[in-house]
Structure 1
Amino acid sequence: MKIGIIDSLHNSYVDQPDIEQRVLGGDASVTLYRVRSTDELPPDALECDGLISWHLVPLQAGFLGELKACRGIVRAAVGFDNIDLVAARQAGIAVANVPDYGTEEVADHALSLALSLLRRLPRGHAVVSSGSWDWREVGALPRLNQLHVGLIGCGRIGMAVALRFKAFGCRVSFYDPHQSSGVEKSLGVNRCETLAQLLECADLVSIHAPLDDRTRHLIGKEQLAALQGKYLVNTARGPIIDGAALRDAVADRLLAGLGLDVYEDERQAIPAEFLNRDDVLLSPHVAFYSDAALPELRAKAAQVLREILSQGQHRNVVN
């Protein structure tokens, strides 16, 4: 079997394909391709029996149609928005994801961003760094057990986040039109029937939805206006928030605090409006990561691909 790993030259995830080679076994030849786009791939990449895809390189219809032998593509992540699922299906290629890695890390990171904003840790650091120990300079701080947290999306990660906030005594609500009835009872949280209802009732909103045509720019100018004086955290996908509307909201100090691990276009420079602000916390798409999570993700992606190629199916197939 010829296996290709398609990673990016920019912010790459794989230095060498040692983990994948070990999982796929001696009958597989694994090649790492680090490119800016599929146009830069050598001709031999089109002969791969299977591919492992990382998120910064889109796999679009034109490329998928040129693959000569490919039977499976595994997106090394929960989300798979960089792959044209319809074109892959038409080409007879199964596409799968890895939905069960890094749940703890993303949930912990969302909570970390939220707590840092709520307790105004960047502002506290700046106060002490300036030579002052006057706690009054930090500003107003909400009490956590009086906070109403709203979650957009209540899948594996959203549930983990809900449980973490509940441990702090927070009231938790979620909006997720795709989640079955009764989840709210199992978790002991409240379900909102509309996004508008969630934005109205929550003091802090954390995003945990996948990116698709329905969620792209789900949070725009109108939704940001509903969050005036509130907190917003996104550890899901950048384009769920309209980038231009978010820049305007930050410039106008509309939000009480903003925590971002993902951005609308992570290949571009971060907007100047987000920089040097103690009400904005930024991290470099690291929520998924820990010393344990990345090797786990790579191994699971290779394992899923091996089963697709050997058995013709896998429960993680999304197309």
Structure 2
Amino acid sequence: MKIGIIDSNRNCYVTDPDIERRIIGETANVTLYQAASADALPDDVRDCDGLISWHLVPLDAAFIGSLRRCRGIVRAAVGFDNIDLEAARRHGIAVANVPDYGTDEVADHALAMALSLLRRLVRGHEVVARGSWDWREVGSLPRLRELHVGIVGCGRIGMAVALRFKAFGCRVSIFDPYLRSGTEKSIGVERLETLDQLLCAVDLISIHTPLTDETRHLIGAREMRMLEGKYLVNTARGPIVDGDALCSALANDALKGVALDVYEDETKPIPQIMQGRHDVLLSPHVAFYSEAALPELRAKAAQIASELATHGWHRNVL
């Protein structure tokens, strides 16, 4: 058998498929493909029995329809929005993700970005770096224990973030229409029934939903108005937040602070309005990463790909 790894030729995640070859062993040959898009991949990728997909190369319906013997595709991540699931379903190709890696890393990163915004750490660094010790130059700082935090999407990561904010004494509310009733009681948070209720009630929101047709631009111009004077943190997927609406809100100084690890279009430079601001904190889609998390992700993706190619099934099939 043959298993292919599809990664980008820029900002790649895999340079040597040594982990994947070790996990898959003699079950299949492993080949790494790096390209800017699916159209640029060589033809022999279509003869793979299984594929491991990294997010910067979207696998659309045309590409999936061209696969000659693929039994399964593994998205090497939690999110799977770069794969056309309906096309895969039509062609009988199982698609799985890796939902059980990196929960701590993303939750820690979301909390770190929020704390940096709230305590204005970057501003404080700049004040001292230019030779001043005047604490008043940092600006106003809220008391963490008095903060009301809203979590949008309370799956594995959202729940981990909620528990971290609770440890700081924050009041935590969640919105997730797919969460089983009573789950909020098990972690000691408040559940609100609508997104509008959450946005109006809290001081800071942290986004942890997958990117779907339902959640694309979930935070748009209307929602930005509800967030006026509040903080927004997004470590989930960029297009959940409408980029134009966000830029407009920043231009009007409507938000108290914004922290982003993900962006609507990560192939382009960020908009100028986000650059050089004390109320905007940016990181390069790194929330998933630690020295332990990336090898764990690659190993788990390889194991799932091997099982899909061999048996056509794994418990993580979407």
TM band (smaller chain) = over 0.9
Task: Give 1:29's aligned residue.
Answer: 29
Deviation at 1:30?
A: 0.7
Equivalent residues of 1:10, 1:267 under 8 A apart: no
- Say which SS state the counterpart of residue 158 (structure 1) adopts: helix
Instruction: Give me the whole-angstrom Cα distance separating, in 2, the residues matched to 1:312 and 1:127.
Output: 58
Task: Give 1:108's aligned residue.
Answer: 108
Give matches, 1:175-254, under 5 Å: 175-254=175-254
Deviation at 1:310?
A: 2.3
Matched, 1:271 2:271: yes
Matched, 1:131 2:96: no
Equivalent residues of 2:70, 2:309 under 8 A apart: no
Give matches, 1:1-319, under 5 Å: 1-318=1-318
Give the letter for the 1:86 counterpart: E
Deviation at 1:261?
A: 0.1
The percent of aligned pairs where both chains have the same amino acid is: 70
Give the letter for the 2:143 counterpart: R
In the TM superposition, what whole-angstrom CA distance separates every residue of 1:17-75 from its partner, at most 9, and x where no partner exists?
11011111123111111111111111111100000000011101111111001000000
> Which moves more between the two structures, 59-68 or 25-34?
25-34
Equivalent residues of 1:158, 1:208 under 8 A apart: yes
In the TM superposition, what whole-angstrom CA distance separates every residue of 1:218-247 from its partner, at most 9, and x where no partner exists?
000111111111000000000000011111
Equivalent residues of 2:3, 2:305 under 8 A apart: no
Deviation at 1:309?
A: 2.1
Give the letter for the 2:18 counterpart: D
- Say which SS state the counterpart of residue 115 (structure 1) adopts: helix
Q: Which runs of 4+ in 1 moved over 6 A?
A: none
Deviation at 1:111?
A: 0.1
> Which moves more between the two structures, 304-313 or 270-279?
304-313
TM-score (structure 2 length as normaliser): 0.99
Instruction: Give me the whole-angstrom Cα distance separating, in 1, the residues matched to 2:10 and 2:285.
Output: 13
TM-score (structure 1 length as normaliser): 0.99
Give the letter for the 1:97 counterpart: N
Deviation at 1:79?
A: 0.5
Deviation at 1:312?
A: 2.2
> Which moves more between the two structures, 280-289 or 248-257?
248-257
Deviation at 1:296?
A: 0.2
Instruction: Give me the whole-angstrom Cα distance separating, in 1, the residues matched to 2:261 and 2:236.
Output: 8
In the TM superposition, what whole-angstrom CA distance separates every residue of 1:90-145 from its partner, at most 9, and x where no partner exists?
11100000000000000000000000000011111111122110111111110000
- Say which SS state the counterpart of residue 214 (structure 1) adopts: coil
Instruction: Give me the whole-angstrom Cα distance separating, in 1, the residues matched to 2:27 and 2:135.
Output: 63
- Say which SS state the counterpart of residue 145 (structure 1) adopts: helix
- Say which SS state the counterpart of residue 315 (structure 2) adopts: coil
Deviation at 1:189?
A: 0.2
- Say which SS state the counterpart of residue 316 (structure 2) adopts: coil
> Which moves more between the two structures, 98-107 or 18-27?
18-27
Equivalent residues of 1:47, 1:70 under 8 A apart: yes
In the TM superposition, what whole-angstrom CA distance separates every residue of 1:243-281 from its partner, at most 9, and x where no partner exists?
111111112111111000000000011111111111100
Give the letter for the 1:177 counterpart: P
Aligned residues: 318
Unaligned runs of 5+ in 2: none
Give the letter for the 1:201 counterpart: A
In the TM superposition, what whole-angstrom CA distance separates every residue of 1:201-232 from its partner, at most 9, and x where no partner exists?
11000000000000000000111111111000
Unaligned runs of 5+ in 1: none
In the TM superposition, what whole-angstrom CA distance separates every residue of 1:175-196 from its partner, at most 9, and x where no partner exists?
0001010011001000010000
Equivalent residues of 1:51, 1:72 under 8 A apart: yes
- Say which SS state the counterpart of residue 299 (structure 2) adopts: helix
